[in-house]
Amino acid sequence: MPHTTHAPEPCCFRIIGVDTGGTFTDLIYQKDQGWQVFKLLSTPDNPARAVLEGLRAVTQCGPLQVVHGSTVGTNAILERKGARTALITNTGFEDVMTIGRQNRSRLYDLAYVKDLPLVPEELCFGVPGRVLQTGEERTPLDEDRAAEVVRNIISAGVESVAIGFLFGFANPAHERRMAKILSDIADQTGHAGPPASLSHEILAEFREFERISTTVINAYVSPIMSRYLSFLQDHLQAREGNAGHPESTLRIMQSNGGSISAATAMRESVRTILSGPAGGVVGALTMGRLSGFDRLITFDMGGTSTDVALLDRDLCLTTDAAISGYPVRTPMLDIHTVGAGGGSIAGQDAGGALTVGPESAGADPGPICYGRGERITVTDANLFLGRLLPDHFLGGNMILDVARIQQPFKAMAAQMGLAPRELAEGILAVANTNMERAIRVISVERGFDPREFTLFSFGGAGGLHAAYLARLLNIPRVLIPRNPGILSAVGMIMADVIKDYSQTVMREIPSGQPGGLPEKLAADLLHLFVPLEQRAGEEMTAEGVSEDHVRLERFLDMRYHGQSFEIITPFDPGANPVAAFHALHEKAYGYRNPARPVEIVTLRLRARGVPQKPVFAPIARGSAPPPPEALLDTRPAIFEGQQHETKIWSRDVLLAGNHLPGPALVAEYTSTLLIPPFAAAHVDDQGALILEIET
């Protein structure tokens, strides 16, 4: 996969992956029979500007297929800048979002105060009516009160409405009727009316708080995402040189590792909350498999944050996630995020101790060495120690200002009673410790031994820290793919089209079933899957995926009778899902109890459309010594307080089989890679750099 070292020459091609980060916006695009990459600074005030600037830089003609990972929805929640949202639920349950669960995220914080709900108290409305857990209607919906609520919502200037009634997943009639009343009254008043998110469409599962929270988040971010995606889509189809190609398409990466159409993303924006990081995990699994590794700990260090995930031969899904304290029960990749990136700002706490992050300099003003920032960042510390190359950053397109960082380091070091070198290494040590802690959360704390995995490093800043993290965690190997700084964008063009469906059913399996499910129960479950499969077929057709390219995967949420949490278990009528559940339970919790009855709580269906995917050709093979032209320079760099002469290699010239002892720096367009003195690296057939760590 070659790279672009300057503003690319515009050309005509079909597929583009676009990932918007806090500091850089990354593009990977098809050109002729090959692939090129392009990076530019993000525009935090309006992320669409950087996306459109990137598209203009790489193409001017022909219809495009753009797959985009966006942080718009995430930022709207984190910054509480979503739409003005109302909640309609049952009378007496208006406080469901305020009450929530009794869980405390900071158990020993005596001053702990829960975050305020996204919907203020005055916009939570109750309507009489009740459906039982069986789906039977006990009390009809009070349509007079429903109409009164709608008029109050319209007069309050509400932009979006979440509708979630008790047991709406068992019988959605009241939710649908409420939405119809909202639409009819809006039409009568001459207003377009606020869009409605219905809980049975967003999440047809039990647990009222989690279902309504997920629906509220969807309502809160959908108008923001709709404006953003409509703006992008309009400019994509009407851009100069493309007015005759309205068939250009825009697809959005989901949190579950698949993509959906922009139209679906506008309606179900909650499914895009981890859009960008999910692309990186998909790309890591794909490229890791090409290099022969499928047990991976992914380490994605960008400019603002670090995302980590554990892949045990497949993608890691969870339905037990939260963002900014609000539960989100839609399936998503199990990704853990910490505020540690190249732009993380160094400071001191009240006791004078060194801190790094979570505040970030982002793209504007950015690190000091970018020319506008005033506060020391992790990137500045790497540059100060000679671990970043000021004249090779972004392929030489962006020159880092070494002189500008000298005085800030001297001033802060004097304030802390340190030498400037000690300060710089201290900043990196603190940042590494923050990221090590994140990796322990998704590995050691869940019963996995990091020594059995390969650390897969990507992101613009990951290659400078991966070897140190591997040594801290006793991970023997680090794998860094080609163009690691744009791997999230690579994952987006490699992603399947995925739609997830669920339905709570509540069925009990008697204990002592050696053959698995009773025959009648298995038949009932297959019958219950039919409506989900029909819906999947219709929606995948609407997504542009032909029937012969769709795969359906069935799962059961299962638990022992009396438990509060479930385990997602594959469901194959010809296999024994009960035995599979016992095995998964033992793996997760260390024990199994075959004598105890098992409950099937929720059916899950995953519809996967498998499009034609790009193929990345292997690189040319050489011998152990790198080609002489690959050596760019030898420069001093600091490692553990000592200065070392460090070779600088050009990654584009390296061949498969080349061996690189540390210390060394490997320069490429999207990232700089560090091989410290305690590591050595070799290049594999895919062009990946594999570091062996002395632990």
Query: Same domain for 676 and 662?
Result: yes
Closest to 276 measured CA to CA, from 324, 214, 358, 337: 337
Q: What is the mean pLDDT of each run of 10 residues along the chain (695 residues)?
A: 48 75 81 78 84 83 82 82 96 94 81 87 97 95 96 94 96 97 89 90 94 96 93 74 59 92 92 89 94 95 88 89 86 88 90 88 85 93 94 84 95 94 96 94 90 94 95 96 90 92 91 73 93 94 88 95 91 86 89 90 94 83 95 95 95 96 92 95 96 88
- How high is the pLDDT of residue 590? 86
Q: Is residue 110 part of a domain?
A: yes
Beta-carbon-side half-sphere exposure of residue 607 (alpha carbons within 13 Å): 26
Query: Same domain for 561 and 679?
Result: no
Residues 363/44, Cβ–Cβ less than 8 Å: yes
Query: Same domain for 523 and 605?
Result: yes
Q: What are phi and psi of 525, to 5 degrees?
A: -65, -45
Query: Same domain for 446 and 332?
Result: yes
Domain boundary among 609, 643, 664: 609
CA 147 → CA 143, 187, 266, 534, 549, distances in Å? 6, 13, 26, 33, 45
Q: Is residue 35 part of a domain?
A: no
Q: Is residue 229 part of a domain?
A: no
Q: What are phi and psi of 354, to 5 degrees?
A: -75, 135
Q: Is residue 101 part of a domain?
A: yes
Closest to 265 measured CA to CA, from 181, 330, 344: 330
Query: Same domain for 171 and 310?
Result: no
Domain boundary among 470, 493, 516: 493
Q: Is residue 29 part of a domain?
A: no
Tokens of 512: 């002592």
In this structure, the dihedral spanned by the alpha carbons of residues 283, 286, 292 and 298, taken in order and rounded to 10 degrees, is 30
- How high is the pLDDT of residue 2? 40
Q: Is residue 329 part of a domain?
A: yes
Query: Same domain for 468 and 486?
Result: yes
Task: State the Cα–Cα distance between residues 652 and 155, nearest whole angstrom.
Answer: 61
Q: Is residue 3 part of a domain?
A: no
Query: Same domain for 97 and 185?
Result: yes
User: How many domains in the chain?
Assistant: 5
Domain residues for the domain of 96 are: 85-158+160-193
Query: Same domain for 285 and 427?
Result: no
The CATH number that applies at residue 455 is 3.30.420.40
Query: Same domain for 479 and 331?
Result: yes
pTM over 0.85: yes
**For the residues of 80-143, what is the DSSP string, one character each?**
T----EEEEEETT-TTHHHH--S--SSTT-TT--PPPPSS-GGGEEEE--EE-TTS-EEE---H
Query: Same domain for 464 and 327?
Result: yes
Q: Is residue 382 part of a domain?
A: yes
Query: Same domain for 679 and 577?
Result: no
**Cβ neighbourhood burial of 121 (10 Å; 0-12, 13-18, 19+):** exposed
Axis crossing angle, helix 208-238 with helix 47-58, rounded to the nearest 10: 40
Helix (H) or strand (E) holding 498: strand 497-509
Query: Same domain for 179 and 95?
Result: yes
Q: What are phi and psi of 338, to 5 degrees?
A: -130, 155
